Amino acid sequence: MAIKFCFGKGFYELDIKSDYSLLGKDFKGKEVDLREIFSNVSIQGKKIGLILPDTTRPLPAKEILSEIYPKISDKNITIFIGTGTHRNPTEEELKNYLGDFREKFKIVINDSKSSVKYQKIGLTERGTEVEILKEILAQDQIIAFTVVRPHYYAGFSGGRKIFIPGVSSYKTIQQNHRLVLDPDPKKGKNPYAVLAYLEKNPVHLDMMDVLKLVPLPCTFLNFVIFNKKIVYFSKDFFEAVCFVKENFQLEVKEKFDTLIISAGGFPFDTNFIQGHKALEHSIGALKEGGKIFAYIEAKEGFGSKDCIDFLKIGSIEGITEKLREDFKVYGHTALTILMKAKRFEVNLCTALSDEDLKLMGYKRWDGKTLPENLGKAGVIEQASLYYIPQRI
């Protein structure tokens, strides 16, 4: 039987002739009623700031804004696009994302490397200098819309991440993200800054400290998205995390020789930095030395020059040393890319060039054929949401 794997805005059909286990097909959640959500949202003051994630997240922004609009139509509204270190959305992307609200509301995009004005609001316990968009501090209330799903070093996306990296300065983002490194220079990555783990995760804990410094009322609306539909909502980030764990965390008793996965198509595989998260979510189910075949289009390439520059260093040790000298967010991504190449055989169906694949130590896969002997094989069709936790 052929399986459809999403790839960008299209898909591949693959007939897997070997026996395989299909992981992550049990969820049958119902779509959440947006009207019910917004009936319980109180509005304070006249100047209301709405923070939305950028277009690499699957938030149905037009639908959400349509439902909340009757409650805020008489207010002075500014939409802040929380890009963090991502590129700015194009005008076409903004129109597709926001619809008519692109023209109705003032839009402020957090271009963290530009001359956008920030204001320092304090220091976290770990010494991060917290600078956020100055215009946010001029609002009477902030309503933050977030998408909660697993994240490979912050534990989970959503909640506090809409502020940092979302609307923070590049300096603040760098200081927070460098906490991914172990305090001991002889060690690489901090063992607690990993996928789906929060309790002692220094990146996450520092982000929570940032929220304590924000000096105005903030309402968080945290969503879980599945198949482009909102299947869960909570004002409490940790409740949303619990929902993700209960419904999308996979337990694997015996690891697989081969994995076949998809990042889930657009927007999850817009660039490789986004798409490779699906690899991170999956490798906990793969034996050391095993093979993974992944559909990650990455039509826009890596998504960061920093990532390419660090990959050119060519070794895990060299990248780690460089990160300690001059930390770059996507230098850490380069480190995790090479770490996978060292442990597994990674085969990509992708738009990346042969040169890009060589830098990573990955192989090109046509997406249509598989080796005859897969051994024990596992399939994850939406590896940007389903995940195997890493044990601490």
DSSP state of 387: B
Which 8-state DSSP code applies to residue 343?
A: H
d(CA 185, CA 49): 41
Looking at 151, 177, 204, 281, which residue is catalytic?
Answer: 151
For residue 241, give the nearest of 198, 287, 178, 189 by alpha carbon. 198
DSSP H/E element including 5: strand 2-7
SS3 letters across 99-159: CCHHHHCEEEECCCCCCCCEEEEEECCCCCEEEEEHHHHHCCEEEEEEECCEECCCEECCH
Nearest to 130 by CA among 85, 163, 86: 163
The helix/strand/coil state of 98 is: helix
Q: Say whether 151 is catalytic.
A: yes
In the numeric block, the tokens 């959440």 are attached to 32
DSSP string computed for 146-210: EE--EETTTEE-SGGGGTTTTTB-HHHHHHHHGGGB-SSTTS-B-TTS-TT--TT-HHHHHHHHH
Q: Which of 169, 195, 168 is nearest to 285 (CA)?
A: 195
Q: What are phi and psi of 310, to 5 degrees?
A: -70, -35
DSSP code per residue over 280-328: HHHGGGEEEEEEEEEE---TTTTS-HHHHHHHTT-SHHHHHHHHHHS--
* Closest C-alpha among 273, 151, 146, 149 to residue 203: 151
Per-residue b/e over 257-272, b at no fewer than 16 CB within 10 Å? bbbbbbbbbbbbbbbb
Cβ-based neighbours of 209, under 8 Å, separated by 6 or more: 124, 125, 126, 128
Catalytic residue among 86, 204, 281, 332: 86
Q: Which residues are catalytic?
A: 86, 151
